[in-house]
Structure 1
Amino acid sequence: MVLIKRITAVVTAFALAAVMQGASLTAFSEGDVSEADSITKAAIVTEVSTGQVLYEHNSHERLPMASVTKLMCLLIWAEEMEKGTFGMDTVITATARANAMDGSVIWLNVGEEMSAYDMIRSVVIASANDACVAVCEYIAGTEEMFVERMNKRAQELGMSDTHYDNCVGFDSDTHYTSAYDTAILSAAVSEYDCYNAFFATRLDYVREGERQTQLLNTNKLMQRYDGIIGGKTGTTDKAGCCLAVWAKRGNMKLCAVALGCKESEQRFTACTDLLNYGFSGFELYRTAVDSDVLTPVTVTEGLEKQADIRVKRLNTIVIPKGSSKRIEYTHTVVDSLSAPVQYGEKVGEVRASLDGEEIFYSDIVTTGEVGELNFFSSLLIIIRRLFSM
């Protein structure tokens, strides 16, 4: 069996959806992504570990997405392989439903047996609709039941502008997504490396002999862009030309999405511009607070005279390159506390701003409990001291 490895991300995909809300850095933009606006119906670029939106254009508009749909299939398949439901060496039998698929196909016959490895690489490399349906049916029983899984998973990820009614990306009025939701989905898929070799393959073949079928990768950025890891193209009459990709340079991984391009080359241009914009203009920054800010707070009428404190959370955030020296921190901490003091009790807050705009906030909280000094606790202290003499 081919082992599947999951790449640990800083945030889960569900948390990513929450973090991305209102986290745009467009106000700090200095690059030019105007062409992405003009050649897409919607576009976005995000940093994966933080979920921060670096740039967006109509990112919440509901649009058809063609075979970018299959990213949700890839996510669920990876999760099922991680659970041990099936593996790359599992043999899958093609059904009549799979055989009936049109568009991009590998010409599966009814009853034909093929490994999940061959079917999945046919989907990833060549967007094979028949292989996609076959794998989905194997997991859920029917395509309809698998689509229910897709919609449930979308809700779990916080993809509020997405609805699926098929697993391959055929156009319909009730089959849609947004660039924002696609970035969430792409980030989730990018946590898994089991497809990376397929993503990187330009040309391959499935089967041998007379029925050998060519698998051609339509994602041209896989050979063009430095640091590219994976992604998915999609094209239909209604959706136009679409693309979702992710790439990593240094310690920063970005997702770029372009929906609704009129020409195929435009999606590659748009995503190239978006990725270049992100990598050239931004960097990761770890928030930090000076230790002198976190001196213990006096506790009155307590079993202890002081309570230790800490910053509740220190985040990694995305900032414009070279701007870290302009970050200013402010903090407030109470002068004293009255016992009893609870663990995690808020005693202050810390904020960071860049050029006047807030980029970080956290509560300052206690690290432990301090009991109240009363008659019984005082008596207990006296007794302990007597016995220790």
Structure 2
Amino acid sequence: MEKAQADGAGESGNSITLFPNGIHLQSLPTWANPKSLGTEGVKGAIRKPPCRLRSGEIPLHNHLLPPIQWGQTRILEEEQAMQTGKRLWALTCCMLMIFLPTAQAAQPLESGTPMTLTTPSAILAETATGTVIFEKNADERREVASITKLMTALLVLEALDRDEIALTDSVQISPRAAAMKGSQALLDANAVYPLEDLLRTTIMASANDSAVALSEYIAGSEENFVDRMNRRAAELGMTNTNYVNCTGYPQSGQYTTARDVCRLCCEIAKHPRYNQYASVWIDKLTHPGGRVTDLTNTNRLVRFYEGCDGYKTGSTDAAKYCLAATAEKNGMRLVAIVLGTPVSQTRFNEARQMLDYGFATYRRVVIANKGDLLGQNVEVRGGSAERVPLALGSGLSMLLKNGQQSGLSLSVQLPESVDAPIAQGDVIGLVDVLLDGQVIAKLNCVAAEDVPRPGFIEGLLRILRNWR
């Protein structure tokens, strides 16, 4: 049997709005019927007693957390509500979505690094929210060697999702792909391999020949594929990244940053198939002619760190030793990125320290799910019903330091009344999310059901009842 060449890139390895302070706010696409959430109106760990919210009551509970306290419900004066109406509420909420800063502009949760890091550039983040816990020279442009293949893998995974390609596709290996230097799967030129074999060897063994073969199959040439890589990087907000090839093999003009690699990892986290391949420590590739190549994962943390199941290593003389490592514990996935360490083992040691700190210090807390019924309602003037029940128009999760949960509170801002007709999902008010008394997020409070104007007969009966 042959052993795959490794370590030299060769391995010489409904939209989401992100807010600062670890907030993950789901956007407001088509309204999901809150009735589907059941009689309690809440899914998952959040529970709510089936009673009307009154000032000082606690409508939301999490069995993992202390109760989230609700503050006073603030009612707008009737005259103001009549003047502003639903249009102003909608405009206000749109403006909030525009002016609340996104994760791209957010500061890390901690200034500096809580441990000594020798790596020149590093970042620790939570992947679901994109929240950066701490960073070091995260915007410094650097070569990252085979970490470049993260974008290559992402484009393949997204093409699979769109059914443009299939894992069972047969891919013929060009002489150019088979001749790639650096880490290899030792593919045979002109031979035909299943696409899945090329994807798993790219991810798990950092095979340059497999990566180029995939790029040629998907885009016709590596050059065309690299154009797609750069377009996708721009879409992800990777403003300090430029790709020149799909492997990370040393080539002038190719660079990225720890922050951009973090954004890329957060996107890859949406594709569990990546981790399916990246979590394998030792494997084999059987070539069409029967020859067998042994494969060993370049990411040692996959074997030696509990919960680690990806992402990627990289090393060249210019990039030195790089690592983007992810692990999941207690429902929270973190990614630790270290770039440019002078010693190979140092990248694993420091990534391990970063992950240990993150899991020991922080937790991801689900505050509410989109569609949660609030137990509140608002009077409707001229409607077929006298009141409209309210629900959350967005879901919210946050990254909190241990012990911060007790500082969470919610405060509702509602008009005294609204005019019919009301459509399910119409914005009625706002919910302020406060941490230690400071507003850190605002959620739309929406109508949980339609309230049309009454029909002719119903309107006539109302007049008669009022006349009596």
Q: TM-score scaled by structure 2? A: 0.69
Contact 1:14 1:158 in 2 (8 A): no
Over 3 Å counting, the alpha-carbon distance change for 1:363 and 1:191 in structure 2 is closer
Matched, 1:381 2:464: no
Distance 1:225 1:355, change over 3 A: same
Which residue in the other structure is 2:90 paired with? none
CA contact (8 A) 2:108 2:135 kept: no
Per the alignment, residue 183 of structure 1 pairs with 262
> SS state of the match for residue 394, structure 2?
coil
Question: Do structure 1's residue 239 and structure 2's residue 319 form an aligned pair?
Answer: yes
* Alignment partner, residue 4 of structure 1: none
Question: Deviation digits for residues 245-281 of structure 1, max 9, x if unmatched?
Answer: 2211121111221122222122212221221122111
- 1:93-134 C-alpha deviation (Å, 9 max, x unpaired): 221221332112234343233333433333223212112111
**May I ask how many residue pairs the two structures share in their alignment?**
368
Task: Check whether the contact 2:182–2:249 (CA below 8 A) recurs between aligned residues.
Answer: no
Is contact 2:268-2:274 (8 Å) kept? Answer: no
Structure number with greater CO (CA < 8 Å, separation at least 6) is 2
Match of 1:330 in 2: 411
* Alpha-carbon distance in 2 for matches of 1:280, 1:80: 37
Residue equivalent to 1:152: 231
Structure 2 residues without counterparts, runs of 5 or longer: 1-13, 19-23, 26-100
Task: After TM superposition, list the pairs within 5 Å mapping 1:106-117 onto structure 2.
Answer: 106-117=185-196
Does residue 198 (structure 1) correspond to residue 277 (structure 2)? The answer is yes
CA distance in 1, matches of 2:281, 2:457: 79
Partner amino acid for 1:203? Answer: I
Amino acid at match of 2:346: Q
What is the CA–CA distance in structure 2 between the aligned matches of 1:333 and 1:120, rounded to whole Å? 52
Structure 1 residue 317: Cα displacement: 1.4
Whether 2:345 is the aligned partner of 1:265: answer: yes
Distance 1:180 1:357, change over 3 A: farther
The equivalent residue for 1:128 is: 207
Other-structure match for 2:91: none
Q: 1:210 Cα deviation (Å)? A: 10
**Offset at residue 347 of structure 1 (A):** 3.7
Q: CA deviation at 1:73?
A: 1.4
Change (3 A) 1:61 1:86: same
CA offset at residue 163 of structure 1? 2.1
C-alpha RMSD of the superposition: 3.4
Correspondence for 1:48: 127
Q: Are 1:19 and 1:52, in contact at CA under 8 Å, matched by a contact in 2?
A: no
SS in 2 for 1:75: helix
d(CA) in 2 for partners of 1:62, 1:14: 26
Cα distance in 2 between the residues matched to 1:201 and 1:294? 48
C-alpha distance in 1 between matches for 2:380 and 2:400: 38
Deviation at 1:341, TM superposition (A): 4.9
Equivalent-residue separation in structure 1 for 2:165 and 2:368 (angstroms): 44
Change (3 A) 1:266 1:88: same
Structure 1 window deviating more from structure 2 (184-193 vs 250-259): it is 184-193
Q: Distance in 2 between matches of 1:296 and 1:109?
A: 68
Q: CA deviation at 1:294?
A: 4.8
Tell me what 1:221 maps to.
301
Give 1:21's aligned residue: 104
| Inter-partner Cα distance in structure 2 for 1:286 and 1:310 | 16
203 and 287 in structure 1: CA distance in 2 versus 1, 3 angstrom threshold: closer
One-letter code aligned to 1:221: L
Q: C-alpha offsets along residues 349-387 of structure 1, whole Å, 9 cap, x if unaligned?
A: 2222223544332132333555568xxx7787217988x
Q: Deviations over 1:168-199 (max 9, x none)?
A: 01234532222222222223323333344532
Q: What does 1:225-374 align with in structure 2 at a 5 Å threshold? A: 225-288=305-368, 294-302=375-383, 304-339=385-420, 341=422, 344-368=425-449, 370=451
Which letter does structure 1 place at the counterpart of 2:296? L
Aligned counterpart, 2:79? none
Once residues 203 and 292 of structure 1 are traced to their aligned partners in structure 2, the CA distance between those partners, rounded to angstroms, is: 49
CA distance in 1, matches of 2:270, 2:457: 57
Q: Which amino acid aligns with 2:219?
A: A
Farther off after superposition, 112-121 or 260-269: 112-121
Among candidates 149, 161, 174, match of residue 95 of structure 1? 174
Deviation at 1:313, TM superposition (A): 1.6
Q: Secondary structure at the match of 2:272?
A: coil
Contact persistence 2:282–2:295 (CA under 8 A):
yes
Aligned with residue 77 of structure 1, among 152, 156, 168: 156
Larger mean Cα displacement after TM superposition, 167-176 or 66-75: 167-176
Question: Following the alignment from structure 2 to structure 1, what is the Cα–Cα distance between the partners of residues 360 and 255?
Answer: 32
Contact between 2:275 and 2:311, CA under 8 Å: does it hold in 1? no
Once the two structures are superposed, residues 190-209 of structure 1 have per-residue CA deviations (whole angstroms, 9 ceiling, x without a partner) of 33333445323333443479
TM-score by length of 1: 0.81
